[in-house]
Structure 1
Amino acid sequence: MMNVWAGEVGVGLPSQALRATSTVVRGGQARLFQLVEGDRMSISDPEGRQPAYLYVLQPESPLRGLPERPAPGLVAALADCPGAEPALAARYASVARGVSLFPAHAPAGISLTLEALAPVLCLLAAPGAAMAPEAQDTPTDILVCVAPAEPRDGEVPPPLAPDMVLDHRIKAATASAYTVKAGDYIQIIDVDGRQCSDFLAFDANALARGEEYDLDPTTTRTLMGSSFSGPGLHSKYFDSRMQPLVEVIQDTVGRHDTFLLACTAKYYEDMGYPGHSNCTENFNRVLAKHGVAERKGWPAINFFYNTIVGADDRISMDEPWSRPGDYVLLRALTDLVCASSSCADDIDPANAWDPTDIHVRVYDGALCHFAKGNAHRMTRDAEPRLSRESGFHPRTAALTRKFTDYRGFWLADCYAGSGPIEEYWACRERAVVIDLSALRKFEVTGPDVEDLLQLAVPRNVRKLAQGQVVYTAFCYEHGGMLDDGTIFRLGSHNFRVVCGDDATGVWLRELAETHGLKAWVRNSSDQLHNLAVQGPKSRDILASIVVTSPAHATLAELRWFRFTIGRIAGLPVVVSRTGYTGELGYEVWCHPNDAPAVWDAIMAAGAPDGLTPMGLLALDMVRIEAGLVFAGFDFSDDTDPFEAGIGFTVPKEKPDPYVGDAAIARRRAHPHRQLVGLDIAGNEPIGHGDGIFVGRAQVGVVTSATRSPILGKTIALARLDVSLAAPGTRVEIGKLDGQQKRITATVVRFPHYDPDKTRVRAEAPAALAEAGMAAATEAASVLADDPRGAANRSG
């Protein structure tokens, strides 16, 4: 079994050392490993060029396969590992002997395997300092896989915290009842993976009075607005009195069933298995001592149960998505009597045909606090990673509680002091700041990097000048889009790709390997967070605080799709004239550690001009008005750039071949669908996925829609058959079943707002440009005495 253990070095004691079969040591961190005789430890660097040092923390060296490359001392190595406990260095410095596992400038995918000849405690460090925004020395992950000498099934990850009040194993096909105090945390762990666990909870105080108030499916669905049996979880679960009993804090799976019945005797009888063990009868037995009456079936939260509601409205099932060590963490909102099962089903895919154990831990809520989050995996084999906060989160969290888990980051939907409509008008009339740190960033470097990107995208990357940015599509061989994003040219052999999906970096890396290109693609998403400053006043605001050296453009000089290197409040930043609003705007890129101070400086500078934070809800309005496309809505892997409305990213002629060029040429010559703008008659709500009809025939689909405040009407982006894409064409949007209700719409020029993009192209007034030059000259003497300024000048 591939048990994932998720502890970071911090406890610093061998008794609590990580012991796993598959895990990640993140760049800038370190982890302890306890091996036994015969264990084989495979270590790989998937992105290349990441230092990896292994230290044996005992006098002997019982590891076969260690290279003969000395590593820096343990103290020095851990100094570059912010995630490591400093006491580790003092504890083991006198006995630790280290080796450097990989050579300098190691290629992506390099690996080696070690074998333990005796029990051994070792520490693996992946050192890496904070990356400056103009640099490309990002620390990256090291992957570790331990193949045990003997099977170690049934192991669970280390506790999330030491303050446990219950640590209990539920054997396969059984159930257990337990009590939980208000505020305590309940962790339900799938020990071996793909095993369902039904969960029940009762108000303990009401139960003591002889009243049964348990989790109620109808009330919960109604209050939370979630559909029956949907993937994922409700954030809170209620009883029939509308009183919340539990809330979901963390979920490493993301797919469960909510409130189908726990398996019943009747189900097995109807399948021809009378007398089969079942969760309902197991619950009845363990809850009897708490005074709970028996039932023929228990509505339950079915953790890890993979049920699917099909388009035909039928419910089916498949194997769970959960993997060994996956869990759900709940918080009790009142005193509870709980019951958990290990589902007994072995006659269908519900438990992958083989019931296994479930483990329950309860943590003292008075001593513990856990951040909320859902797990995301970069690839299907990656370690799950819980939702994280951007560097700007300390500031945004002080202004709102309305956050969305967007691609693994908590980003604000809107702000309490304004709201989406006010934020929208601030963007159109003044200026806003938007935390967009969830964008993925990749440092693409090496002698063949230009060849790699020239092969990867339709754009002619060779024409990019240093300091220039280009927007592009990333396409598969069949012409469908993998992603869209921007490419920054930092130097002759130095580029930065900013996009929406982690898979794009993996794809680029695989492309380099397939074509034998010497180029590294390294993920810097956790080293570079970004704040968009957008709106008519954005240039004035930033020009007053961005300091650049004479070698770099001032804000006033910065042209559309260019970037400059400088400082805000003495902190290094990259500022690009890019955005996602259709307004004059910029993006400020900085290290997460500097993000709060950068936010403060920008907000202070913008206060006289009414600078306002803006969330994702208002951002969706402005980007639809401006015709800016969004992955999963306006394009997907069966959509080519022309069908996504970004055909301008595909030149008719390019001197070099690129991925998907033949398919894209074929699609260009024989287009079937086109992205258009629609004006909607009336005020009916229109949404993504609504069908577009002419008569009974569906001829297209709405990809994005919004009520436009500035245009005073509902507008949409839609993909239509090319025969109907001419402006002025009248179509109908189908609601209900697509036939019973129709809403008239008209094809219009696309995009709806500022179609000639005059606002984003607006040049600076001459007076401001002159002032910018003067400020740059004055700043030169300050930067000349500062090492970080010197680095900026050489950028």
Structure 2
Amino acid sequence: MTDARLLAPPPSRILRPGLPARAAGTERHRVAGRGSLVVAVQAGDRLALTDVEGGQVCELMFCDASGAFAPGALGDADTLRAAEASVVTPDGFLALMAEGGPVVARTLTALARRGIALAEARGLRLFGRGSRAGARADFTVQRDGFLIVATPGTRMDFVAGDAATPVELTLVRAAAQVDAAAIALPEPLADPRFEQRIAAGTAHAYVVKAGEYIQVLDVQGRQCSDFQAFSLRKLEQGIERGLDATVTRTLLGAAYPQPGLPAKAFDRDFEPLIEVVQDTVGRHDAFATACGARYYDDMGYPGHVNCSDNFSAALAPYGVAPRRGWEALNFFYNTFLCSAHQLHLDEPWSRPGDYVLMRALTDLVCVTSSCPDDIDPANGWNPTDIHVRTYAPDAGFPRAIAHRMTPDADPKLTRESPFHSRTSALTRHFVDYRGYWLPTRFAGEGAISEYWACREAVAVIDLSAMRKIEITGPDAEALLQWALTKDVSKLGPGKVAHVALCHPNGNVLDDALLYRICVNNFRLVCSEDTVGPWLRRQIQEQGYNAWARESTDQLCNLAVQGPRARDLMRQIVWTAPAQPSIDELKWLRFVPARIGGYEGMPIVLSRTGYTGELGYEIFCHPRDAEGVWDAIWQAGQPLGLKPMGLDALDLVRIEAGLAAAGNEFDARTDGWEGWVGDAISLDKPCDFIGRAVLAERAEHPRKLIVGFQLEGGEAVSHGDEFFLGRVPVGVVTSAMRSPKLGRTVGIARIDAQYAAPGTELEIGTLDGHQKRLPARLTNLPHYDPERLRPRA
């Protein structure tokens, strides 16, 4: 008899934020601030425009098949009356089109191809200065044609904080595809020379000429694709030389090539065959062969189709001998080695439309597969298609890695800083730092030389990757009192404060510098992309009359640091008579100023830095970036100015005892454990997020941040553990060999009961027990303990 109380085993419940949660036929397009978009639409299509951050003008235009502008085709009379139907303003879409640049070029090309005349542009003007974050306008398209969306904006005023911000277009097609799993490919990066859809469980070989680009796209997400390439020249000589993972890993010092300096993949003769140019996933494999018959035989699936046999069949016409197992670059294959040296696999990280873009360094025969593995998580248990495109050598794609603020966000490719034309003339050593290519060190200098320039003379550092957020409105202070751990009411205009943002459990979201521009205008300079959306969520939940608009793209910055920084600033910076002069500007103060006199380039100059030295930061519009750099560079040469990269910056900040995100703090550490305690005001006259937990932890801390020193110069690294005998009692968060102190020093997080300065502990390396380094805990900072130099 069946027991009625028994239930069937429950199915797995998995959230997949990386895959589209939108219904079939629904598209999402994000138009960046001061950007534009052209998209084809059909009668019956429904569209919604959302002002993501608030306060952004949006111009919406419709052109019919003849190229004529027809605003009336966007909805019925009532809908159009809700918007302002007018001729597009001269400072809007038309002004954007006159500025030039890659985005403008794509829009103009799309319009010209359809015979659309800009001089007749007419449309609807939506949103504007007073619109709230998330404000929305809905329309229904009345006939077939083309939609143009533009987000105009003037050059941002440093005081007003009127940043141009994104607008999101959601398009629901009237003729939705029946198959909900069908996902359209993204637009080509340029005009393709060759395209091939590779069905699941198949492979295709093709010839690519030197200099051409190869794009391998994951059509529906979570699908592996093996890639191999041979020198065509060698094949014609009867020599088979394909990509060799062992040689590539040895030469790169990395598991697989990635955009940047470690970008090339080599054959057994050490000849580079391909260079990885762009990568929207960043998680691949070169540890094991492409799947072969033996793998499926041993798993109990004899005769299963496999990539190695598919490779052999596809390459046979080119005279390549078959192999039982093919070495390959396994794009999107999520394999990794654990600490026990076991090879593991899991579902790929790739989303629909993700890709790897490569450049052929010689004439190649390439082969690409769509992996047939359906017996484990390698392809998410469901093999799908791969798509290949090739492009001409003159396409000129920039090197880039993709970042996503959230798992389902559109990828943003690495950008060049507005100062890149100047820094790239001095070095090729760049790293992707928070979505920007920033120099790590400079040719002919190096980290130690740059370090000494900062300590003894003056150095200039590109910090444009820092996120800037303009916080405005009558409730701007109230918002910040609730969202930040510092008492903002005590911060006067023209002053800067170190602040922190914490989650309700007291753990750190980010730390930042807060600039009070005037009564209701603030600027937050932080490092995390998530801060802006988090602030806008607080505005919505608390009902504040405020805006938090991101201005990173319109405000780049340099740090000028070192004991001679003031001498340099005196030569180039002009301040108005009513404002503090360079000699009057105190620590943690800022002033609007100009470089080059009364008619010079406008900047914001702040007496701040991340080095422990006297220093300044200069904020300017990207259009003035090269002029600002040149002025600093020319005036600084007699003073011993050197450019400074991220490697040297890490040295000086560790010596100065300054916290870094991902080292001293993250979402797993509270404000005291994360070394942002100076940014916490428990005596604030109001509540703030995380206050109760932080107050309790202040009385009963679990761990504390302290300094440490070793007697010699042995290297230790982030993550190495501190031991008392066999008991782990802490961890190294940052470490460096101090050129000035002549020994290894660093920052550590130690159990509170063992964190007193002077405590003798041991740092374990290797397995933590075979090699022990005696260490003594110290106060912070190691350099300039009273922090007198920044105040000088």
Normalising by structure 2, report the TM-score: 0.91
Q: Which residue of 2 aligns with 1:300?
A: 328
Partner AA of 1:194 in structure 2? R
Corresponding position: 1:226 with 2:254 = yes
Between the aligned partners of 1:601 and 1:494, the Cα distance in structure 2 is: 29
2:149 aligned with 1:124: yes
**Structure 1 letter corresponding to 2:94:** A
Q: Show the 5 A alignment for 1:124-143.
A: 124-143=149-168
Stretch of structure 1 that moved more, 702-711 or 538-547: 538-547
Residue identity matched to 1:70:
E
C-alpha displacement of 1:111: 1.9
Deviation of 1:187 (Å): 0.8
Residue deviations 1:175-224, cap 9 Å, x none?
Answer: 10011111111111112222211101111111111111111111111111
The amino acid that maps onto 1:121 is F
Distance 2:375 2:595 in 1: 63
Inter-partner Cα distance in structure 2 for 1:283 and 1:588: 55
1:665 aligns with 2:695: yes
2:595 to 550, 554, 568: 568
1:750 maps to what in 2? 780
In structure 2, which of residues 382, 399, 402 is the aligned counterpart of residue 354 of structure 1? 382
From 74, 92, 95, give the equivalent of 1:63: 74
Partners in 1 of 2:215 and 2:361 — Cα distance? 15
Q: How many matched pairs? A: 747
Q: Does the CA contact (< 8 Å) of 1:196 and 1:304 recur in 2?
A: yes
Question: Would you say the 8 A contact 2:429–2:442 is kept in 1?
Answer: yes
Distance 1:230 1:433 in 2: 28
Q: How far is 1:490 from its partner?
A: 0.6
Q: Is 1:454 matched up with 2:486? A: no
Q: 1:232 to 1:352 in 2, by over 3 A?
A: farther
Question: Which of 29, 32, 51 lines up with 2:35 in the alignment?
Answer: 29
Q: How far 1:75 sits from its partner (Å)?
A: 6.6
The answer to which of 238-247 and 346-355 deviates more is: 346-355
Contact 1:444 / 1:495 at 8 angstroms: preserved in 2?
Answer: yes
Per the alignment, residue 11 of structure 2 pairs with none
- The answer (yes or no) to whether the contact 1:255–1:304 under 8 Å persists in 2 is yes
CA distance in 2, matches of 1:741, 1:448: 56
**CA separation in 2, counterparts of 1:44 and 1:75?**
20
1:31 positional shift: 0.7
Q: Secondary structure of 2:552's partner? A: coil
Whichever residue aligns with residue 78 of structure 1, its letter is F
1:471 to 495, 498, 511: 498
Q: Give the counterpart letter for 1:37 in structure 2.
A: A
Q: Paired residue for 2:10?
A: none
Moved more, 103-112 or 290-299: 103-112
Q: 2:176 aligns with which of 141, 145, 150?
A: 150
Aligned to 2:196: 168
- Give the letter for the 1:740 counterpart: Q
Alignment of 1:324 onto 2:352: yes
Distance between the aligned counterparts of 1:320 and 1:248, measured in 2? 19
Residue type matched to 2:698 in 1? R
Among candidates 508, 511, 524, match of residue 538 of structure 2:
511
Question: Is the aligned partner of 1:282 residue 2:295?
Answer: no
SS at match of 2:157: coil
SS of the counterpart of 1:755? coil
Q: Show CA shifts across 1:487-513 (max 9, x none).
A: 000111100000001101111111111
2:288, 2:87 → 1: CA distance?
57
In the superposition, relative to structure 1, how do residues 134 and 460 fare at CA in structure 2: closer, same or farther (>3 Å)?
A: same
Indicate the residue corresponding to 2:136 in structure 1. Answer: 111
In structure 1, the residue matched to 2:405 is: 378
Number of the residue aligned with 1:445 = 472
Q: Which residue of 1 aligns with 2:12?
A: none
1:655 and 2:673 correspond: no
1:344 is aligned, of 372, 375, 382, to 372
Query: What residue number does 1:787 align with?
Result: none
Contact 1:80 1:128 in 2 (8 A): no
Contact kept in structure 2, 1:475 and 1:483, CA below 8 Å: yes
CA–CA distance in 2 between the matches of 1:678 and 1:633? Answer: 15
Tell me the equivalent position of 1:704: 734
Distance between the aligned counterparts of 1:442 and 1:224, measured in 2? 38
1:633-782 matches, cutoff 5 A? 633-762=663-792
TM-superposed CA distance for 1:739, in Å, is 0.5
Cα deviation, residue 232, structure 1: 12
Query: Structure 1 residue 228: deviation in Å?
Result: 7.9
**1:537-552 pair list within 5 angstroms:** 537-552=564-579
Partners of 1:133 and 1:541 lie apart in 2 by: 23
Residue identity (%)? 50
1:263 aligns with 2:291: yes
Q: Which residue of 442, 448, 462 corresponds with 1:421? A: 448
CA–CA distance in structure 2, aligned partners of residues 183 and 663 of structure 1: 58
Q: CA deviation at 1:667?
A: 0.9
Paired residue for 2:396? 369
Matched, 1:618 2:643: no
SS for the counterpart of 1:344 is: coil
Q: Deviations over 1:665-685 (max 9, x none)?
A: 111111111111111122221
Aligned CA distance change for structure 1 residues 350 and 233 (closer, same or farther; 3 Å): farther
2:259 & 2:210 partners in 1: Cα distance?
27
Compute the TM-score of the two structures, normalised by the length of structure 1: 0.90
- 1:40 deviates by 2.6
Please give the secondary structure, in 2, of the residue aligned with 1:179: strand
Which residue of 321, 326, 337 maps to 1:309?
337
The answer as to whether partners of 1:44 and 1:143 remain within 8 angstroms in 2 is: yes
The amino acid of 2:752's aligned partner reads: V
Determine the C-alpha separation between the residues in 2 that align with 1:684 and 1:197: 43
The answer (yes or no) to whether the contact 2:255–2:285 under 8 Å persists in 1 is no
Residue number in structure 2 paired with 1:84: 104
- Structure 1 pair 551–79 and aligned structure 2 pair: CA distance change class (3 A): farther
- Deviation at residue 395 of structure 1 after TM alignment: 0.6
SS in 2 for 1:474: strand
In the alignment, which of 580, 586, 590 is matched to residue 553 of structure 1? 580
Q: Cα–Cα, structure 1 residues 544 and 96, in superposed 2: closer, same or farther, change >3 Å?
A: closer
Indicate if the aligned counterparts of 1:677 and 1:715 stay in contact, CA closer than 8 A. yes
Residues 303-362 of structure 1: per-residue CA shift (max 9 Å, x gap): 112224334433333322222221111011111111001111222322222222211111
Aligned with 2:311: secondary structure? helix
Partner of 1:209: 237
**C-alpha deviation, 1:363, in angstroms:** 1.4
Provide the residue aligned with 1:73 in structure 2. 87
Maintained 8 Å contact 1:423/1:613 = yes
Which 5+ residue runs of structure 2 have no aligned equivalent?
1-15
Q: Does the 8 Å contact 1:231/1:257 carry over to 2?
A: no
Tell me if structure 2 keeps the 8 A contact 1:133–1:589: no
Q: Provide the secondary structure at the position in 1 that maps to 2:580.
A: coil
Indicate if the aligned counterparts of 2:94 and 2:118 stay in contact, CA closer than 8 A: no
Q: Which residue of 1 aligns with 2:9?
A: none
Match of 1:47 in 2: 53
Q: How far did residue 117 of structure 1 move?
A: 3.7
Structure 1 pair 412/126, CA: closer, same or farther in 2 (3 Å)?
A: same
CA contact (8 A) 2:165 2:550 kept: yes
Mapped pair 1:489 → 2:516: yes
In structure 1, runs of 5+ residues without a counterpart are: 6-18, 763-795
SS in 2 for 1:606: helix
Q: Alignment partner of 1:604: what SS? A: helix
Q: Distance in 2 between matches of 1:125 and 1:598?
A: 30
Compare 447-456 and 124-133 and name the one that shifted more: 124-133
Whether the aligned pair in 2 keeps the contact of 1:215 and 1:300 (CA below 8 Å) is yes
- Residue identity in the other structure for 2:47: M
Tell me whether 64-73 or 346-355 shows the greater mean CA deviation.
64-73
Report SS of the residue matched to 2:395.
Answer: coil
What is the deviation of 1:104?
Answer: 4.4
* Equivalence for 1:789: none
| Matched residue type, 1:685 | A
Counterpart code for 1:327? Y
The answer for the alignment partner of 1:194 in structure 2 is 222
CA-CA distance at 1:35 after TM superposition:
1.2
- Seen in structure 2, the aligned counterparts of structure 1 residues 144 and 657 have a Cα distance that, compared at 3 Å, is same
Tell me which amino acid in the other structure corresponds to 2:385: D
One-letter identity of the residue aligned with 2:758: G
Identify which range, 427-436 or 123-132, moves more after superposition. Answer: 123-132
Moved more, 190-199 or 513-522: 190-199
